[in-house]
Amino acid sequence: MGYDLKGKTCLITGGCGGIGFETARELSRAGATTVLVCRDKARGEAARSAIAGAGGGRVETLACDLASQKKIRALAKEFKRRFGALHVLVNNAAAVPARRTLTEDGLEMQFAVNHLAYFLLTGLLLDVLKASAPARIVNVSSGLHRRAHLDFGGLQAEKGYKGMAHYSLTKLLNIHFTYELARRLEGTGVTANTLSPGFTASGLGRNFGPVSRFVMKRFGRTADKGADTVVYLAASPEVEGVTGAYFNKRNAERTSPESYDAAAAARLWALSEDLTRPR
Ligand SMILES: NC(=O)c1ccc[n+]([C@@H]2O[C@H](COP(=O)([O-])OP(=O)(O)OC[C@H]3O[C@@H](n4cnc5c(N)ncnc54)[C@H](OP(=O)(O)O)[C@@H]3O)[C@@H](O)[C@H]2O)c1
């Protein structure tokens, strides 16, 4: 892809598999110091050495289970202790559990990992992003956001959980969050964009039934193709200064009509602040 990120530091959640791993590999190839957030230390180390072995920028890992707000706080602290700057934050990690599961904070798992972790980690790193400006935040969403409707009473799926329907909702939340974040970051030199990587064969389908897993493996694009628009938003000079946009295959696209509801985005922001307050 030929990007030049020498002297830049990038942090990628979910960096040890799927789209996150391929993103990290490309950013490192472009010369960035690349920090992978992985929940499993051994897998993190395997990913780190696979990327570092190919040459490119320095590669490091930080361990964190993003389902735990305490661990996200520790992650942000550790990142700041070890790295002086942050030019690109890629919120990418996501999960689709087969059954409704609660985190140690008492929150539904997808809501916690796919949305609140994006929100909390970004908030904790905003000072270092602003100090490193120009800087970029890239939130990985999905075209499936178009299937979702934001019902504030359903964020924790208390009245019936359907894995993919709830996943689509969390991907709509990624878009609301990005648009509101971009509004709040105006004039800071930090941009915030979101995207769909497209249907990609990855670990995301591990809890799907055998037919869906087969379809994903057979018809999904490879993870390096899935990472293409993520890397584009993280690194390309073409999107320097672009903010508050959603991309698909490197093109800016409109999202679902309700994703432009700024009042809903502000309400989601306030609720997310409340749910991520230290207790
Ligand atoms: N694949 C697709 O078709 C598709 C389509 C549209 C959007 N997306 C989006 O693309 C992004 C990447 O997904 P992917 O397809 O690459 O799936 P993936 O292979 O399953 O990667 C997801 C990553 O998130 C990590 N993760 C999940 N829960 C975590 C937790 N509690 N703490 C820390 N890390 C956690 C996983 O770590 P472990 O390996 O330890 O589980 C994994 O590295 C997601 O935001 C997804 O919504 C994917």
Q: Which residue is catalytic, options 118, 167, 179, 246?
A: 167
Query: Which atom of ligand 1 lies closest to the CA of 143?
Result: 6
Which CATH class name applies to 9-275? alpha beta
* Among protein residues, the one whose CA lies closest to atom 40 of ligand 1: 39
Query: Which atom of ligand 1 lies closest to the CA of 167?
Result: 47
Spacing, Cα 118 to ligand 1 middle (Å): 13
Q: List the one residue out of 59, 72, 54, 13 whose CA is nearest residue 33.
A: 59
Q: What CA–CA distances, in Å, run from 144 to 33, 141, 244?
A: 32, 8, 19
Which stretch of 34-43, 86-95, 201-210, 253-262 has the lowest confidence by average pLDDT?
201-210
Query: Which atom of ligand 1 lies closest to the CA of 220?
Result: 3
Q: List the one residue out of 90, 174, 86 whose CA is nearest residue 134.
A: 86
256 touches 146 (CB < 8 A)? yes
The set of long-range contacts for 78-84, using a CB threshold of 8 Å and a minimum separation of 24, is 79/11, 79/35, 79/125, 79/128, 80/125, 80/128, 83/9, 83/33, 83/35, 84/9
Any ligand 1 atom below 6 A from CB of 205: no
* Among protein residues, the one whose CA lies closest to atom 1 of ligand 1: 200
Any ligand 1 atom below 6 A from CB of 17: yes
Threshold 0.75, pTM exceeds:
yes
Q: How many CB atoms lie within 10 A of CB 261?
A: 15
Any ligand 1 atom below 6 A from CB of 244: no
Any ligand 1 atom below 6 A from CB of 196: yes
167 labelled catalytic: yes
* Domain residue spans of the chain: 9-275
List, for residues 164-197, the tens digit of each pLDDT value.
999 999 999 999 999 999 999 999 999 999 999 9
Pocket test for ligand 1, best of 13, 16, 71, 92 (most atoms within 8 A of CB): 92
Say how far apart CA 260 and CA 61 lie, in whole Å. 36
In total, the chain counts a number of residues equal to: 279
Spacing, Cα 202 to ligand 1 middle (Å): 8
Task: Report percent pLDDT > 70 for the chain.
Answer: 100
Q: What is the mean pLDDT of residues 66-79?
A: 98
List, for residues 7-41, the tens digit of each pLDDT value.
999 999 999 999 999 999 999 999 999 999 999 99
Any ligand 1 atom below 6 A from CB of 191: no
Spacing, Cα 117 to ligand 1 middle (Å): 13
Say how far apart CA 75 and CA 135 lie, in whole Å. 19
Any ligand 1 atom below 6 A from CB of 44: no
Say how far apart CA 279 and CA 269 lie, in whole Å. 18
